[in-house]
Amino acid sequence: MPRKKKEDAAAAEKEVRFVELDLLADAAGKDGYKREEMTQESPVEKRNVLAEIMDALFGNPAYIENMTPQQATQNLFMVLRRIAIQYPTQANMFNDGKCNAKDVLLFFSSYFYNPSGNKPRWIYASGAKKEQEKKDIKATITKADIRDYVDHEEISMKDFDSALRLFPEETVNDVKEHVAYFKKIQSSKI
């Protein structure tokens, strides 16, 4: 006999999860896990563990040392994807199930450690999808239209490229308006 909807709703409201106690409880000899009932009235704050790990790789090796092996295993693949932007060979070597995930993160933490905690620029590299979108936007205008616009506005190509990089939609719209305006003028002369 299948469960009733009320029983399903009641079961969904409460979920039991195990929360790891702090090191003091372990030192006191207590059980390392505590059973805690969660209801919808007390929502759990979701943490972005991947972002925390990426921050810790460059400035907080203690965070990685205190990570649980489960957290390291769950996030290793995505961390290695980010690292592969700059170091594809090294990331590929460690992208093997036989490596201990926590040890891999400790290695990269010691390799990338920066006392100031600043992340390198390659971490913020945009993906292929964004690069393709930028190329598609620029492909909507021709080089001749760009040259006419640059000559008319009396700006350098370097300035135009900067504007296109920083404000792609607005720059392309300006060029299109410029082309439409001059086509309108030329058609009215004839």
Whether residue 75 sits in one domain with residue 59? yes
Does residue 153 form part of some domain? yes
Q: Tell me which long-range contacts 128-135 makes (C-beta under 8 A, separation of at least 24).
A: 134/168
- Tens-digit pLDDT profile for residues 96-154: 778 899 999 999 988 888 888 788 877 776 666 777 777 777 778 888 999 999 999 99
Taking the CA atoms of 155, 159, 165 and 167 in sequence, report the sign of the dihedral they define.
Answer: negative
Q: Are 118 and 91 in a shared domain?
A: yes
Q: Rank 18-22, 37-41, 43-47 by mean pLDDT and report only the highest.
A: 43-47
Are residue 150 and residue 85 in the same domain, yes or no? Answer: no
Q: Is 79 in the same domain as 144?
A: no
Q: Output the pLDDT for position 164.
A: 87
Q: What is the pLDDT of residues 68-102, one digit of tens each?
A: 999 889 999 999 998 988 888 988 888 877 889 99
**Residue 47 CB burial class (10 angstroms; 0-12, 13-18, ≥19):** exposed
65 lies in some domain: yes
Q: Is 3 within a domain?
A: no
Per-residue pLDDT at 6 exceeds 60: no
Residue 39 belongs to some domain of the structure:
yes
Residue 99 has a pLDDT of: 86
Indicate the residue among 67, 101, 124 that finishes a domain.
124
For the segment 47-61, what is each residue's pLDDT rounded down to a tens digit?
778 888 888 888 888
The residue behind tokens 């990426």 is: 54
Shared-domain flag, residues 133 and 172:
yes
Number of domains in the chain: 3
User: Which residue, chain included where needed, has tokens 């195990």?
Assistant: 18
- Are residues 53 and 24 located together in one domain of the fold? no
Give which of 141, 76, 132, 139 is closest to 109, Cα–Cα: 76
**What does pTM read for this prediction?**
0.46
Residues 60 and 79 both lie in one domain: yes
More confident: 39 or 8: 8
> Do both 106 and 166 map to the same domain?
no
Residues 69, 37: one domain? no
Q: How far is CA 115 from CA 54, 65, 103, 109, 110, in A?
A: 15, 16, 20, 11, 11
Residue 177 in this model has a pLDDT that exceeds 90 = yes
Structural domain harbouring 99: 49-124
Cα three-residue angle 27-55-105, rounded to 5 degrees: 65
* 102 vs 113: CA distance, rounded Å: 16
